[in-house]
Structure 1
Amino acid sequence: MKHFRGSFLVTAICLTLAAWWGYDHGGVSGMLTALGVAVILSVMEVSLSFDNAVVNASVLKGWDEFWLKLFLGLGMIIAVFGMRLVFPLVIVAVAADLGATEVWNLALTDPKAFSGHLTAHHAEVAAFGGMFLLLVFLNFLLDDEKEVHWLGNFEKKLGALGKVSSISVMVALASLLFASTFVDAGQRMVVLVAGIWGILVYVGVDMISSLLEKSESDESSNVGDMVKRGCIGGFLY
């Protein structure tokens, strides 16, 4: 348990800050609400991070000490504070066309206004994230090289469609066009653009991952060793 003393200390400090913030904004009921939300989010974060931890452990075990420390230091800061704290603020700032400082102040001092801006731009945010996650699902489902099929023969037949180049992108674009018909005409173009950006971001991330992964057909490639050993490419991976 000694390895987790720092984690327990940080958790206690964060829960205390959440309780104090809730009490400052809503008294005892606000404190209990904020504390409850913080506990639920903490449990979800820990449970959902187990799968990443398993994958990371298999990759990091052969890394050089320098890159290992860099990943555990800078990498964790980017993952925790960048994606959990900064990224949501960036989404609201871009979607609502607000300054970063204004969004930060809204999040801290006026959660209702912050929530209002996010809700007002829910359609485009959902389109961006939805297309990204849809491609994650489709590339898993439409994989002709997959050996384990949870849905039996039905999934196996769907996986055969993976032989068609860019089938996932085609399905995602078709889904986006179909879903846009349910959106008000005034928001339709914004939703389409946001969805296309979600697709582009996924394709870009997938391209980088493909470049960094070791090709099974190329025995002379040392990218896999590079990732395992640790370097700038492995760090990005």
Structure 2
Amino acid sequence: MLLKTFGGAFAVTLVGLVLAFIYGGTTGLTVAAILGVLEISVSFDNAVVNAKYLGRLNAFWQRMFLTVGVLIAVFGMRLLFPVVIVCLTAHISPAKAYHLAMNGGSVHTPGTYAHLLHDAHPAIAAFGGIFLLTLFLDFIFEEREITWLSWLELPLARIGKLDQISVVVSGVVLVLAANFIAPASKTSSVLVAGIFGLIVYLVVNGIGGLFEDDDEEDPDEAPEASARRRVAAAAGMAGRAAFGVFLFLEVLDATFSFDGVIGAFAITSDPIIIAIGLGIGAMYIRSLTVFLVRKGTLSEFVYLEHGAHWAIGSLAVLLLFTIKYEVPEVVTGLIGVGFIGLALLSSVLRNRRNRSDVSDLEIESVPV
């Protein structure tokens, strides 16, 4: 199963590293490998959250996530998206942006591609930060049968009974970030980008929910149609509902990639090497997502989902702080891995306690 799930990632790694070597020699090969490892380390929480949604899809849409989704992630978000951002923020043509991208340059040299992309970071961070923050808030404000940090999650779930509280909190955080964190020259762009991030989250999340509602069982439905619907649901979500979830997954991946794309320029200014390195990492994250789904890891280790969302909440806060302050990617990665590691440990201890309780009951039920 390991080779079947990660075979595509291994193949992409081999091809990517060969291309990096042909393009940039030993230096290009080394930098691409480093970027791939960094992408994996800082995006593990993304894989866990992705698994929550991917597990609801059927086999066809899971394959789409690993094929078409990877093309979108690698060529769309890691290669084309930065060029589009430079076009929009610097008000230059795509041809000029492409020319600047090929010339690379330093973030400290005005007029270079790296500098222009770095200059656009406050708006990008606001978009991604608010998107991820709203996702996190929707999770912690929802009542759940199983809680991890119960002393905190239970009171937050009670607050979550207030209608649209996650949107309200995200809006307040955005206003505070724009007025107290963002430089004066970036206040308006941060506000606009953050509002856009909130709108995109609500629209994409709403589309998935709308299509899912359309696929719910109708009380007046014929028994044969109802049976077919239940069989289809057991096999996984398909059709418009699956497309809505797939779209949400792609936007979620995009928000996770924002910081990585810009942070990569601290290692190299070559967009081709960046695309190869981050693309390799993105492929492993997608394969890991499928692995978690097929192994039923989230069902077995019930706190993993909680840990991943707390990691996302931390990432959202850090993204908003990077509007003005530098936050090393290693800090982001360690916080994410820390939350997931603690959640995994808590899940293992919980499973042991449950098995111990079952064993005690079986012993007590044995007649003397």
Query: How far does residue 212 in structure 1 lie from its aligned partner after superposition?
Result: 2.0
1:95/1:125 contact within 8 Å kept: no
Structure 1 counterpart of 2:81, which letter? Answer: F
Give the direction of change, closer, same or farther, for the CA distance of 1:220–1:80 in structure 2 (3 Å limit): farther
Query: Which aligned pairs between 1:161-172 and structure 2 lie closer than 5 A?
Result: 161-172=159-170
- Residues 32-67 of structure 1 show CA distances to partners (whole Å, capped at 9, x for unaligned) of 652443442464489567433574355223x5xxx7
Give the aligned partner of residue 89 of structure 1.
Answer: 83
Q: C-alpha displacement at 1:131, in angstroms?
A: 0.8
* TM-score where L is the length of structure 2: 0.52
Separation in 2 of the partners of 1:76 and 1:236?
Answer: 17
Matched AA of 2:243: F
Aligned to 2:144: 146
Given candidates 176, 179, 201, the residue that maps to 1:178 is 176
Alpha carbons of structure 1 residues 41 and 20: separation in structure 2 relative to 1, 3 Å: farther
Any gaps of 5 or more consecutive residues in structure 1? none
Deviation digits for residues 5-54 of structure 1 (CA, Å, limit 9, x no counterpart): 6543432221122234334xxxx5x4365244344246448956743357
The AA in structure 2 aligned to 1:86 is L
Shift of residue 165, structure 1, vs aligned partner: 0.9
Partner of 1:74: 68
Deviations 1:94-135, CA, capped at 9 Å, x for gaps? 233333333333233224322201221221111111111111
* Structure 2 contact 134–170 (Cα < 8 Å) conserved: yes
Q: Tell whether 2:211 aligns with 1:209.
A: no
Match of 1:37 in 2: 34
Q: Does 1:123 align with 2:126?
A: no
Q: Is the 8 A contact 2:131 2:200 kept in 1?
A: yes
Unaligned 5+ residue runs, structure 2? 107-111, 220-225, 246-368
CA distance in 1, matches of 2:175, 2:43: 36
| 8 Å contact kept, 2:86–2:116 | yes
Change (3 A) 1:124 1:47: closer
User: Residue 154 of structure 2 corresponds to which residue in structure 1?
Assistant: 156
Q: Aligned partners of 1:142, 1:37: CA distance in 2, in Å?
A: 37
Residues 22 and 34 of structure 1 are in contact (CA less than 8 Å); yes or no, is this contact kept in structure 2?
Answer: no
Q: What is the root-mean-square deviation of aligned Cα atoms in Å?
A: 3.4
Q: Distance in 2 between matches of 1:110 and 1:169?
A: 39
State the Cα distance separating 1:169 from its structure 2 match. 0.9
Q: Tell me how far apart the structure 2 counterparts of residues 150 and 3 of structure 1 sit (CA, whole Å).
A: 29
Instruction: Quote the Cα distance in structure 2 between the aligned partners of 1:46 and 1:152.
Output: 25
Q: Is the 8 A contact 1:15 1:39 kept in 2?
A: no
Q: What is the alpha-carbon distance in structure 1 between the residues aligned to residue 29 and residue 162 of structure 2?
A: 53
Conserved? CA contact 1:124–1:190, under 8 Å: yes
The 10-residue stretch of structure 1 (50-59 or 117-126) with the greater mean CA deviation from structure 2: 50-59
* Structure 1 position 230 matched with structure 2 position 232: no
The answer as to whether partners of 1:19 and 1:34 remain within 8 angstroms in 2 is no
Paired residue total: 226
Alignment-mate amino acid for residue 218 of structure 2: S
Give 1:208 deviation, angstroms.
Answer: 0.6
Partner secondary structure for residue 13 of structure 1: helix
- Give the distance between the partners of 1:78 and 1:151, measured in 2 at CA: 35
Distance 2:39 2:176 in 1: 36
The 8 Å contact of residues 55 and 236 in structure 2, kept in 1 or not, is answered as no
Rounded to whole Å, the distance in 2 between the matches of 1:46 and 1:181 is: 29
Partner SS state of residue 59, structure 1: coil
